[in-house]
Amino acid sequence: MVDKKTRQVICTDFSNGKKHDFRLFKKSKILIHPKVKVITDTGYQGIQKIHNNSELPKKKSKKNPLTKNDKKNNHRLAGARVVNENVIGMLKRFKIIADKNIEIDVKDSLLDLI
């Protein structure tokens, strides 16, 4: 999770990439204040049951294609997620979360890096 204004990593949990995003989120037991708006990607289907103040893109199906309004809303959400994706990319680029043997204090060191 990344603060959109400050670009600071608020909290993090990660795995080897084989674990579904939402399953990893639930396992982390991260608590989000109800007033905080959470904008996620489609990997977090079901987060609205845990956190009411969350938005995620609408998925299309064969029987229910997206309307122009749905596409516009999905585009808006994608734009709002850009900061988060950029920070994740930076963490990966500098191999901060790529090395399995790295030992850092996530609460202190990771926040100082950004």
Q: Which domain holds residue 25?
A: 21-113
Q: How many domains does the chain have?
A: 1
CB 8, CB 26: distance < 8 Å: no
Q: What is the reported pLDDT for 77?
A: 93
The answer to whether residue 16 is domain-embedded is no
Q: Is 62 exposed, middle or buried, given 0-12, 13-18 or 19+ CB atoms closer than 10 A?
A: exposed
Task: Say what the pTM is.
Answer: 0.66
For residue 7, tell me if it sits in a domain. no
Half-sphere exposure of 1 (CA within 13 A, CB side): 16
User: Could you tell me which residues come within 8 angstroms of residue 5 by beta carbon, excluding any fewer than 6 positions away?
Assistant: none
CB atoms within 10 A of CB 42: 13
Domain annotation covers residue 49: yes
Mean pLDDT of the chain: 79
* pLDDT value at residue 96: 63
Q: What are phi and psi of 64, to 5 degrees?
A: -125, 85
Tell me what percent of the residues of the chain surpass a pLDDT of 90. Answer: 24
